[in-house]
Amino acid sequence: MRRLIFGCLMLGGCLVKDNPAWEGSAADASTIGLSGEASSTTGSSWTPTTGAEATTGGTGTDSQGPPTTGAVSATTSTTSTGEVGSSTGEASSTGPAAAECLATELVQVPTDQDDLWDAGVVPSTMGSPCPWAMADEPDCGGLNFGKTGFFRLVNDPNLGKSAALLRFNDQAVIDFISEQQYEPKDLVGARLELVVWEPLAQPTEDSTLEIGLLVGDEAYWDEGGRDAKKAQENDSSAVCRTIDGQGCNPWPAGDALASGEPIGLLLVTTKAAMDADQDALPDQYHAKLRSEPLGAALVEALVGGKQPSFLVSLSTPRALNAGVIGIKLEESSEADPELYLELCTQWSR
């Protein structure tokens, strides 16, 4: 064991662990969320999991159920309901059983400004002129949101979805794990924390954000330097993951949403939003919410140096002409998107 302190940990009850955890103004709802900084001026096919964790640092709230108990397999397998699988630890005819993680802690990765990139994609089907554009831009698909502070999420049954793009420096994540005296193999899960905003005192209905995963060089995208303006060289858009001297480099599957793999959900309930509200203003809320545990594919991508990034969209139907909801990006005055790592503090062998 490494540095020892006592604490109550997820999955293992109270036991010894070896590493400490890290510890606006009113808005015009008629225009807010279409572009720029907001605070300055039916369902999904995925099944959410339940679970809880011990953590220090961060004030986000998950809309999760009661704590689960049991050992986590070193392979971090996922069942059809999205729950982390358990191993019996018994040897099989094919060889010894994999080591089990008996206890974990959830640790916030400190995010330097240079280690987080964000942007957004809006399909061309969202109207002409595009409602997001600061000028009369006919095609939403060609816009870049690299300098946008609030990104509106839409799931229109007829017009399609918008999606926010997030990428953390994967090498900085691995370096952080080492600095905390862990090894990459100790990473068994992760969660994403986001500030959700609406120009309402509280949500009028529950919403679900879908979190997708983009992996590899073919999914690499440039953040860009526009705020809902036409993408230029070194920018991304719904049409181009990046634009270089040779022109537009398209997304692997034709667009960003089709190129992503679903890995988890973030639930926005009235109770969770009010528990995590950052401002207590009468005409808006900023809720700092944490996702459910994300899929094993993210862990594999992080430790494998595959440049993983997140694709955040809205699962709950929300038409373009309906109320505004979305997330704050790094350029906002509210909290940045944050990444939490679930690190194993005790293995079975």
Q: What's the number of domains the chain is made of?
A: 1
Q: Is residue 305 part of a domain?
A: yes
Model pTM above 0.85: no
Confidence band (pLDDT; 50, 70, 90) for 41?
very low
pLDDT value, residue 55: 42
Asked if the model's pLDDT at residue 340 lies above 90, the reply is yes
Asked if the model's pLDDT at residue 308 lies above 80, the reply is yes
More confident residue, 249 or 28: 249
Tens-digit pLDDT profile for residues 199-241: 999 999 999 999 999 999 999 999 999 999 999 999 999 999 9
Q: Is residue 265 part of a domain?
A: yes
Average model confidence (pLDDT) across the chain = 79
The closest of 200, 240, 196 to 220, measured between CA atoms, is 240
Tens-digit pLDDT profile for residues 113-162: 789 999 999 999 998 889 998 777 889 999 999 999 999 999 999 999 99
∠ Cα 50 190 180 (to 5°): 130
When pLDDT is averaged across residues 77-87 and rounded to a whole number, the result is 34
More confident residue, 80 or 218: 218
Q: Is residue 83 part of a domain?
A: no
- Which of 6-10, 250-254, 262-266, 301-305 is least confident? 6-10
| Residue 114 CB partners (closer than 8 Å, separation 6+) | 169
Q: Is residue 166 part of a domain?
A: yes
Q: Is residue 68 part of a domain?
A: no
Q: Is residue 39 part of a domain?
A: yes
pLDDT value, residue 98: 84
Is residue 31 within 8 A of residue 41, CB to CB? The reply is yes
d(Cα 118, Cα 331) in Å, to the nearest integer? 9
| Residue 307 CB partners (closer than 8 Å, separation 6+) | 167, 170, 215, 216, 217, 219, 220, 301
Is residue 269 within 8 A of residue 206, CB to CB? The reply is yes
pLDDT value, residue 280: 83
d(Cα 290, Cα 192) in Å, to the nearest integer? 6
pLDDT value, residue 114: 84
pLDDT value, residue 101: 94
Q: Is residue 150 part of a domain?
A: yes
The closest of 86, 49, 79 to 67, measured between CA atoms, is 49
Kindly state the percentage of the chain with pLDDT values over 70.
73
Domain of residue 266: give its range: 27-53+111-173+190-342
Q: Is residue 304 part of a domain?
A: yes
pLDDT value, residue 135: 73
Tens-digit pLDDT profile for residues 46-72: 333 333 344 434 456 665 433 333 344
